[in-house]
Amino acid sequence: MLPFQLISLLRSLSITTAIAISQLSPPSTPTHQAGGISPQTLHNLNHLTTLAKLADAEATRLLGLSFAPFRGDEGSVKDLRGRMREWVVLGRVRGSRGVRDVVEGSQGGIGSGWTPGSGGGSRRASREAEIEVRRRRAASEDDGVGGD
């Protein structure tokens, strides 16, 4: 499992744990009335809190490790963030239904409407993907996404 996948998994786990804690002790119950909560429930809550803190510490440590080669070099970090942002956008564009349909249709061969040399569909999809990437990049820069 790659570090970013592990971080994503730990983030999901911490959110799930937070939801579980909120289900065990809903906000409508006053927390200052410990008499209404059983000792077993308090023990379980303490255990869940400990697990959530450990998962958060592990995710933070892994995130720090992933940026270790770039520590102290702001230019490389900025370049890495830009390339990662572009990679995510390209992944979303390539994964969109319209682009997949065009790519599958162009690779279908006989009966798909694609003939060697025509290439119109794939060029059009490529152009649309490029336009979408530029649009999303401009929108993310306008919104200040990326912490730059």
Contact 68, 37 (CB under 8 A): no
Q: Which one-letter amino acid corresponds to residue 86?
A: E
pTM of the model as a whole: 0.33
Task: Measure Cα distances from 64 to 36, 52, 76, 80 in Å.
Answer: 42, 18, 15, 14
Q: Where are the domains of the chain?
A: 3-26+37-66, 73-143
Across the chain, mean pLDDT equals: 75
What does the pLDDT average to over 123-134? 77
Task: For residues 90 and 136, give the distance between their C-alpha atoms in angstroms, rounded to a whole number.
Answer: 10
What does the pLDDT average to over 78-83? 85
pLDDT at 31: 52
